[in-house]
Amino acid sequence: GMTRIGMKLRARALRHGMTSHERMLWAALRKRRMAGFQFYRQRPIHGYIVDFYCPAAGLVIELDGHQHSSRSAMAYDAVRTQVLNASGLCVLRFPNHRIESDIAAVIHEIRKTLSPFLERGMPEGQGDSHPSRPPFQGREEKSHCS
């Protein structure tokens, strides 16, 4: 695989060359806009560079362009997701066209995945998203979302 320095440089290059879809989603995630959660973009993690990463919720968000629809790319994505899941991370994948056509639904899905962490009073007591909802059942700290 790539050296750690190599990965850091590649991640930096990817941050400078974000696609329009990444920029659209980043606008909703940056500066703790998503329910107060800190997200990072193009983050090296377990040998992969993921599009967006939220350490507090163990959540990875990946955007898929057309190149992901080929069979080899789908196999690679599946392995990548398994590796990340095996280390206790939740992976949400969205095709680019969903970012374009319905970013509100994408944001809703991300919020839904973050909601169990909000109810624990994480982060900094910002648990006011849905005060009327019953407590979330049956999932431990860092499980998979799928």
Per-residue pLDDT of the chain (146 residues; tens, 9 = 90+): 789 999 999 999 999 999 999 999 999 999 999 999 999 999 999 999 999 999 999 999 999 987 777 888 889 999 999 999 999 999 999 999 999 999 999 999 999 999 999 877 665 544 444 444 334 333 333 446 85
pTM for the whole structure: 0.81
Q: Which amino acid is at 128?
A: D
CA distance 30 to 38: 7
Helix (H, G, I), strand (E, B) or coil at 60: strand
DSSP character for 29? H
- Residue 123 exposure: Cα atoms within 13 Å on the Cβ side: 13
Helix (H, G, I), strand (E, B) or coil at 54: strand
**Residue 41: other Cβ atoms inside 10 A:** 20
In sequence order, what are the residues at sequence separation of 6 or more whose Cβ sits closer than 8 angstroms to the Cβ of residue 69?
A: none
Contact between residue 75 and residue 94 where contact means Cβ atoms under 8 Å apart:
no
